[in-house]
Structure 1
């Protein structure tokens, strides 16, 4: 079952060129949404302006070798292993979700364009199912147990805000897609149609909603991480105020609200500072 290409069976009811056209359209919407997001929020303009201002404050000029080394460190630490997450549970959850999503996307493209028939290599179909399962594992773990408002503030896991659009549509796409593929392999016609429709709706929301979700952030984060390492290496960071150590007892005595802030801020989760959980009636 997991070794069969689910899109090959789908092509018997929906023309293959329509399926391929849908995938291409989603890719165009992601690119277009990201560009519009950059223009609307002026993200690129702000990023380059900050990088330019940092150049004037640098104490040393980085050579090509230095920048290549920084780029490699950024890819290995910040991108490939998500080193920005201090909480190990959050880091593992993110890695499962990230690599599962990448696997899911790449194998979808392979099954729709390169191997659109039942003769598709079994390993490709198995990796498609595995990618969906990895996203579900990491995503549901994050949603029910790791989210700051759930873990630290006791907010119900069913509370939904606009910022949750990306993770929910991602979970919907992989969950409905996996269930659809299993039902289709078992020949359950009615339920197969229902979950196919849910799969298409959630995928459309995921890829067409880039402008309103956090989808575009995955393209900005590597650039921001690279720039952060550059300004630290060239000394321009030294001209900025040093970060305040919120664990300093003297500072906490002067500002009694700091421990509570640290209990709600994800950057300080796991430091052993406890606060009374809110009561729900």
Structure 2
């Protein structure tokens, strides 16, 4: 089951050209949505303007070699390891979701474009990674949604309370969950697999088509913001924030989670 290409099975009633066109459209939606988000919110203009202000107010100039070193450190620590999260549970959940999503996206493209039909069988490793990636997203995503979200864990709100900021994580979880259910139904010959596949396509279109209104594009902005923060700490500007006080923290505790309700 986990080693069969789910996209090759549907080639009997759905042309591979359709699936390939669908994937391309999703890529265009992400690129277009991100550009619209940048232009509409003027985030890029603000980012570079703020960076220049911090550079001018810095106590010293950061050299090119140091910038490269900071960029590498930011990519490894903040990007690949999600080092900005102090909460270990949230970091693990984020890493599971992030790497699971990347695994599913990459293997989907490989399976759809390189092994579109049963005539060109895919190596067992690619479908296996597709399923594992989906399971990682579900573990990390549902763990975050029901137990780690700050409004649930610290403020006592219901995990079923939904606001606009939840569009990305919810559409991601629904899309991946429907994809896994569809793959299982198709592999086991369960009736209704085609209907589940249609729901999977719709949910995926919502995920990639809602970029201007969701937090999807944060995955592109966060590395740049993390680098800017490291440079501001290196040049002394500290993002125009005051220097840390030389006294112990008086709020919060490392021994227990906040419970404000």
TM-score range for the pair, normalised by the shorter chain length: over 0.9
TM-score relative to the length of structure 2: 0.93
Structure 1 equivalent of residue 22 of structure 2 = 22
TM-score relative to the length of structure 1: 0.87
Distance 1:48 1:272, change over 3 A: same
Distance 1:177 1:197 in 2: 10
Distance 2:139 2:129 in 1: 15
**Two-structure CA RMSD over aligned residues (Å):** 2.0
Structure 2 equivalent of residue 60 of structure 1 = 60
Question: What is the CA-CA distance between 1:245 and the residue it aligns to?
Answer: 8.9
Distance 2:238 2:160 in 1: 41
Per-residue deviation, residues 25-53 of structure 1 (Å, max 9, x unmatched): 00000000000000111100000000111
Structure 2 equivalent of residue 163 of structure 1 = 165
Matches within 5 A, 1:1-281: 1-118=1-118, 119-190=121-192, 192-237=193-238, 240-242=241-243, 248-249=249-250, 272=256, 275=259, 277=261
Runs of at least 4 residues of structure 1 off by over 6 A?
244-247
**In 1, are the aligned partners of 2:182 and 2:200 still within 8 Å (CA)?**
yes
Question: What is the CA-CA distance between 1:273 and the residue it aligns to?
Answer: 7.0
Distance 1:275 1:96 in 2: 25
Question: What is the CA-CA distance between 1:59 and the residue it aligns to?
Answer: 2.6
Per-residue deviation, residues 63-93 of structure 1 (Å, max 9, x unmatched): 2211111011001110000000000000000
Structure 2: unaligned runs, 5 residues or longer: none
Structure 1: unaligned runs, 5 residues or longer: 250-258, 263-267
**In 1, are the aligned partners of 2:164 and 2:214 still within 8 Å (CA)?**
yes
Matched pairs, number: 259
Question: What is the CA-CA distance between 1:237 and the residue it aligns to?
Answer: 2.3
SS at match of 1:82: coil
Query: Relative CO higher for 1 or 2, CA cutoff 8 Å, sep ≥ 6?
Result: 2
